[in-house]
Amino acid sequence: MMPNAILLTSQVLALMTMFGMSTCAAERRIEIPLKQSGGLPVAEVVSALAQASGVTIERPAVKLTLPTRGLAGSLTKTLLGECLGPEVRLAFRPGVVVIAVDEDELAADRCAEWKRRLDELSARSVQAASRQQYYGMRAMASYRANDPRRPTVCLVHGINSSSGGFVHVTPLLEQAGYGIVVFDYPYNQRLDDSCVQFRRDWIAFRKAAGANQPWAILAHSMGALVARSYVEGEGRTDRDVASMILIAPVNGGAHVARIQPVYQTISSLFAINNKRTTQALAQLSDGIGQAADDLLPGSAFLKRINGGSRPREVPYHILAGNSGVIPRDIRQQVQAQLEAASRENGLFSIFSRAASREIVPLLDELTDGSGDGCVAVERTRLEGVDDHVTIRANHAELIRAPLLYPDDGPVPCMPYVLRWLQADLKRKAD
C-alpha cells in the first residue's frame, strides 16, 4: 500500500473512532430471557435465531432448559457453540442470555446453513426431552391396585441410576407376589426438587389408580432421602405407607459425593466432544452435581430432613453394606502417615492436619469393614430406627445394580427385604 493511502486510511479510522463508529462488521444482538431458575430455554434459542436468520422452522415443543451458572454454564456455552457454529457468541448476563452474530453471517446466502444447524439442534432437543417422559411414578405389569393378594412395593433409585438399577430385584419381588411401582427422577437436580416431584407424583398416581391400600417403599442410596422427605414431611395424614426399607441410605451424607460434579463434568465434555448432542443436552438439562451438594455431610438439606421425626405408624428397616474398596491395612498405613505428618512442626503439619480432617471420613466410606465404597456404615444409621443390619456387600452389590453386575445372580438384600415386607404387611392387615 502506498504511503498516501496508508495515511488516508488511518485518518478515516481515526474519524470513525472519534464519532463512535464501529470499525468492525455490524453485529446483531439477540436477548433471550432466562427462566426464574436461571435456565436457558433451548426452544427460545432456536426460535430467536430462526427469526434473525430468516429461516422458517417449527419451534421445538420442548421445555428443555440449560444451566447458565458456574461450570455448568460454561458447558452450556461449549455445547451451543458446537451446535450453532463459531459465528455465534454467547454471553450470560443477569436474567438474560445475549447472542451476538455478525450481520454478514445472517445474509440470505447463509439461510441453508442456518436451517441445517437449527433443524439439528431442534431435533436433538426433542430427543433429549423425550427422556423426561420416563420421569415420575410408573406401574409395572405386576401392579394391581388394592389387591390384597398382590401388595404394592414402590422402588426409588439413587444417584447415577434409574429404576433400571432394580432389574435383578424386581423379578424376585414379583415372584414373591408383590406388584411393582417405580419412581424415576433426574438424579442430578437439587434434592428439594426431587422430593417435591416424589410427593406430587405419589399423590397423583394413587388418586388416579384409586389406591386405598398402603404401599411399601424400597429405596436405595440417595433414593432413601427422597422417600423419607414424603413419609416424614409435614402435612402427611394418609396412612399410605406400610413399610420403609432403606438399602445403603445416605442418611448422614457421604464425602465421596464431592466426586460427582467432576464425574458429570467429564461425562458431559466427553458427550460434547464426541458429537453426542442428545446425551449432552439431556445431562446438562438435568443439572451437574446439584444433588451431590445436598449429599455432603452437614448440608442444609441433611440438617433439615434429619432434624425431623419418624412417623410412629411406619416401620423402618435399614440394610447397610461393609464391603469397601480399600483394605484395612492400607487404610491404617495412610492414616498413620497423616498422623505422623501432622505432628511435625511448620507449615506442612498444618496442611497435614487439614488434609486429615477431609481424608479420614472419606476413608471410612471406602475402607473394607467400615463402608460400602460409597457411604460409611455409621452414616446409614438414622435416629429412632433400631432395625439396622450390616452385611458383606458393597453399595451396588446390595441390590445387584446392573452397572457392575449385569448378569443374574444372588441379590444380597433380598432375604432381608422379603422378611421385612412379609412382617410389615401382615401387621398392617391385622
pLDDT digits (tens, 9 = 90+) for 265-283: 889 999 999 899 999 999 9
**Angle at CA of residue 395, ends 389 and 399, nearest 5°:** 80
Q: Which of 132, 164, 190 lies at the terminal end of a domain, its last residue?
A: 132
Given pLDDT bands bounded at 50, 70 and 90, which one contains residue 426?
confident
Q: Does position 10 have pLDDT exceeding 70, yes or no?
A: no
Tell me, yes or no, whether 5 lies in a domain.
no
Same domain, 140 and 126: no
Q: Which of 112, 132, 152 lies at the terminal end of a domain, its last residue?
A: 132
Residues in Cβ contact with 275 at an 8 Å cutoff, skipping those fewer than 6 apart: 82
- Grid coordinates given for 249: 441410605
Tell me, yes or no, whether 260 lies in a domain.
no
Give the model's pLDDT for residue 11.
54
3-state class (DSSP) for residue 175: helix
- Grid coordinates given for 258: 464431592
Average pLDDT over residues 350-354: 51
Tell me, yes or no, whether 420 lies in a domain.
yes
Same domain, 318 and 204: yes
Same domain, 109 and 161: no
Same domain, 102 and 147: no
C-alpha distances in Å from residue 142, one per residue of 171, 181, 223: 10, 9, 22
Same domain, 50 and 110: yes
Average pLDDT over residues 70-98: 93
Average pLDDT over residues 293-307: 97
- Please give the share of the chain, as a percent, with pLDDT higher than 90: 71
pLDDT digits (tens, 9 = 90+) for 391-400: 999 999 999 9
Same domain, 198 and 309: yes
Residues in Cβ contact with 64 at an 8 Å cutoff, skipping those fewer than 6 apart: 41, 42, 43, 125, 128, 129, 281, 285
Tell me, yes or no, whether 276 lies in a domain.
no
Same domain, 169 and 234: yes
Task: Choose among 227, 387, 239, 252: nearest CA to 307.
Answer: 252
Range of the domain at 63: 24-132
Question: How far is the C-alpha of 213 from the C-alpha of 16, rounded, in Å?
Answer: 79
Average pLDDT over residues 212-236: 95
For 184-188, 295-299, 336-340, 404-408, which range has the lowest pLDDT when averaged over its residues? 336-340
Given pLDDT bands bounded at 50, 70 and 90, which one contains residue 169?
very high
Average pLDDT over residues 365-386: 95
Given pLDDT bands bounded at 50, 70 and 90, which one contains residue 7?
very low
pLDDT digits (tens, 9 = 90+) for 25-69: 689 999 999 999 899 999 999 999 999 999 999 999 899 999 998
Here the CATH number for the domain that contains residue 413 is: 3.40.50.1820
Give the model's pLDDT for residue 228.
98
- Please give the share of the chain, as a percent, with pLDDT higher than 70: 89
Q: Does position 261 have pLDDT exceeding 80, yes or no?
A: yes
Same domain, 209 and 310: yes
Print burial letters for 211-229: b (CB count within 10 Å at least 16), e (below 16). Answer: bebbbbbbbbbbbbbbbbb
Give the model's pLDDT for residue 357.
66
Tell me, yes or no, whether 338 lies in a domain.
no
3-state class (DSSP) for residue 154: strand
Task: Round the average pLDDT of the chain to a whole number and report it.
Answer: 89
Give the model's pLDDT for residue 178.
98
Tell me, yes or no, whether 310 lies in a domain.
yes
Given pLDDT bands bounded at 50, 70 and 90, which one contains residue 131?
confident
- Grid coordinates given for 309: 421425626
Domain count along the chain: 2
Question: How far is the C-alpha of 24 from the C-alpha of 16, rounded, in Å?
Answer: 11
Same domain, 179 and 317: yes
Q: Does position 5 have pLDDT exceeding 50, yes or no?
A: no
Q: Does position 353 have pLDDT exceeding 70, yes or no?
A: no
Same domain, 128 and 187: no
Q: Does position 430 have pLDDT exceeding 50, yes or no?
A: yes
Give the model's pLDDT for residue 19.
47
Same domain, 128 and 202: no
Q: Which of 108, 132, 156 lies at the terminal end of a domain, its last residue?
A: 132
Task: Choose among 420, 326, 411: nearest CA to 364.
Answer: 326
Average pLDDT over residues 304-309: 94
Give the model's pLDDT for residue 336.
76
Tell me, yes or no, whether 176 lies in a domain.
yes
pLDDT digits (tens, 9 = 90+) for 92-124: 999 999 999 999 998 989 999 999 999 999 999
In the beta sheet, which residues pair with residue 217?
Answer: 154, 244
Same domain, 71 and 140: no
Tell me, yes or no, whether 218 lies in a domain.
yes
